[in-house]
Chains A and B, each alone.
Chain A
Amino acid sequence: MSAHGYKVVGTRPVRPDGADKVTGRAAYGADVHLAGLLYGAVLRSPHAHARIRRIDTRGAEALEGVRAVITASDFPPADAGRIIDLGEGQQTVAEVRGNMLASGKALYKGHAVAAVAAVNRHVAEEALGLIEVDYEPLPAVLTALEAMREDAPILHETLTRKELGTDTGEVSNVAEHFRFELGDLEQGLAEADVVVEREFDTATVHQGYIEPQNATALWNQDGRIHVWSSTQGAFVVRDTVAAALNVPVSRVKATPMEIGGGFGGKIRVYLEPVAALLSRKSGRPVKIVMSRQEVFEGTGPTPGSHIRVKVGARRDGRISAAYAFLAYEAGAYPGSMADCGAMCIFSPYDIANLCVDGYNIVVNKPSTAAYRAPGATNAAFAGESVMDEVAERLGMDPIDFRLRNAAHEGTRRADGPKFRRIGCVEVLEAMKNHPHYSAPLEGPNRGRGVAVGFWFNVGLASACTIGVNADGTVNLVEGSTDIGGTRASIAMQAAEVLGLRAEDVHPVVVDTDSIAYTAVTGGSRTTFATGWAAYEAAHDVLRQMKERAARLLETEPECVEYQDGVFRSGESRMTFAEVAARLNETGGPVTGRAGVNPRGAGGSYAGAIADVEVDPETGRVSILRFTSVQDAGKAIHPAYVEGQMQGGSAQGIGWALNEEYCLSPGGAMQNSSFLDYRMPTSLDLPMIETVIVEVPNPGHPFGVRGVGEANIVPPPGAIANAIYRAAGVRLSRLPMKPETVMEAIWAQRD
């Protein structure tokens, strides 16, 4: 039993899907095979920006074995301006369709232009070469700052700059500008004894999930569409397919297959409606599986960004003012997560006077998608680098400086509302008290850096049903794709309520016809919100089981108590399993159900301590030791919390040191393979140490805070600060690859 009195929550049972996954039996999207299956392939633009004058598909259609060829003109008529609610975000039908199949313009190299279905993939790919596209190449704009210039090439002639609640009417690549403002920035800066202002750039980075996007679709003769795919949200797939194809949601069934990684990148839908259109045209089911190159060039990476941060502090160590300018590249269509970056950049701090300007800017790169705490990692790299420099100028220990200014319950967030109970101080104290922070770091060219980061987490809607089996176990039906062990973390919450072992709750993730609406596995919401639905459904089961027990014990339900798997009334007792075995004689099966849309998602803070060694001859940075600290609220399954912390840290280290889209001047990605797009492997990393901090979230029955994201936020800042202490240079560009490090070292020598 844990210190909280829990018997299941806080333990480490084996994951329900473990055996299938390690033996290769788990079924992924590419494993789907249906009778008469056709294979699809997508033709993609070779230009980063081009007008599409004409597409001639006749050659492809004439090729033996080709069953269907489609372009954007095959989308049925629809209200292009209609906004699709994707659970966590919104896009118009035109934006969603435009990214699936370009219409009028290709907006990035790799933009889908046409698609083919054929008897096998080879014929489909051959047919792509027979599609003639007449392009008028246009100048490409590849960075946020370039795109903001008045003379920049315009991506969308109809896109006008929006500010909160108003359309300026100005045609622009700046889709949106917003501002958060607290207090009086100028007054705060005037009070400062130390002011540090720096500019930063971060690269376009991909989530790098192992399993490529895939989709199989069958547009049946009865008008029903069934899709199978790799997704973080089956209902997002359902709703997007319905909107893109202008059919009612009730005609679409989405089956989520096992997912080989997503990290936010598998929320957006790319292939499912395309496969469905091919299926309708061919009368056969169609499967499309992306290549790795297509994943890099045709799906959404995280935004590159340009950030300027200015922080002022007094000699007493208090921050008096902070400003940030965040210009984020949305890629081809609006939506860059600059708003998320703005909400997070100063969230570890209690600052009375601050201002954040955010800009959401379209550029000729793939339309960006979420990537683990989207927007926050870029911002924290900049913010935490400046905070470190301010602390140094004040002569303060970097953690003491952060503790002096740490956000706490009642601190006003940059966007206005006050924080409820948060664990920023506890995370910082855990960092300071960790043996890593006080361990000697000996040897030349070595340094230690720290940083903290925040992700706000979300709630959103979830549903669960629980059916009781005659042997006293239960089946838990849910709609949340399992990423990182969420079957286990959800089932454990039901088990805790029901007084069962974790192994006695059998979770199953089902299609959209088999469970009520459930939002994406994203926003660190699944253990929080779907766990809450499981908690409520379990209570529903328990209420009904008490009634059944009362019948069997020949008493009233209110006279029945339940504890540790046993119903009691006076001296009489029955176990959960004994009651379960007699359900049919007491009224029939018991099914518990719950649908929730909970508030109270508690934000999570994470901190990183990084030791690095910089090779002064080559600029290579080696990670010597790395510790991740995170507030989990309550860790339902600590091993999976640690796994999230280690995974997020590894990805953050990739952002810091290696990963970037290397683009030609014309916007073509030069490194669209895992050989050339360098992600950290186990050979590059030490064992990442983890410390779970538990500051229970008062907004959840078990105190859960989502843990999937905050851990990626601090690593780049911590590593930048460590490099400074190792090599004496403050770096302002991600990734901090060897040439970047060497250029800074040479500049310092000069």
Chain B
Amino acid sequence: MARVYIPALLRGFSGGREVIEIAGTTVREVIENLERDCPGIRDRLLESGRLRSNISVAVDGEVSPEGLREPVAPESEVHFIPAIRGGSA
């Protein structure tokens, strides 16, 4: 199962757990299964069925342009991190 890292500000949903092992072959499935373990967390990550605009998902260290469609392997790490705003040089 993938290791899902719960952002510090959402650990209230996970009972303080930093890492949870969750099944799923895509980010979308991982979030759906995460919701069963951590009720309420899905709405903090998704809005209208899509990742919130201020959140990015990184699978195995790479921020995914695929978002919810991004494949997740059993040994993957999944991180939800703030989407970079404001551009760069």
Contacts and interface: CB of A to CB of B under 8 A. Distances in A.
Interface majority SS on A: helix, strand, loop or mixed? loop
A164 B89 contact: no
A268 B87 contact: yes
A360 B63 CA distance: 22
A371 to B, nearest CB: 6
Contact of A417 (B10, B65, B79, B89): B79
B89 A90 contact: no
Contacts of B87: 86-89, 264, 267-268, 369-370, 374, 520, 522-523
Contacts of B63: 599
Interface stretch (A176-184, A319-327, A726-734): A176-184
Contacts of B45: 165
Contacts, number: 122
B5 A416 contact: yes
Contacts of B85: 89-90, 334-335, 337, 339, 360
Interface in B51-89: 52-55, 58, 60-65, 77, 79-89
B89 A708 contact: yes
Contact of B61 (A88, A420, A597): A420
B86 A416 contact: no
Contacts of B89: 207, 262-264, 370-374, 522-524, 708-709
Nearest to B56: A415
Interface in A342-380: 355, 360, 368-374
A340 interface: yes
Nearest to B81: A415
A417 B7 CA distance: 12
Contacts of A339: 82, 84-85
B75 to A, nearest CB: 13
**A262, A417, A458 — most chain B CB neighbours (10 Å):** A417
Nearest to A179: B8
A196 B15 CA distance: 32
Given A164-B9, A165-B55, A416-B58, A178 B88 contact: no
Contacts of B62: 417, 599-600
A368 B7 contact: no
A178 B44 CA distance: 13
Interface string A237-265: 00000000000000000000000001110
Contacts of A83: 53
B88 A523 contact: yes
A447 B84 CA distance: 37
A408 interface: no
Contacts of B43: 165
Given A179-B8, A600-B62, A370 B54 contact: no
Interface of B: 5, 7-10, 18, 43-45, 52-55, 58, 60-65, 77, 79-89
Closest 10 CB pairs of A and B: A264-B89, A165-B44, A181-B8, A372-B89, A335-B86, A417-B61, A416-B79, A370-B87, A179-B8, A523-B88
7 contacts: A87-B87, A90-B85, A165-B43, A177-B9, A179-B8, A370-B87, A374-B87
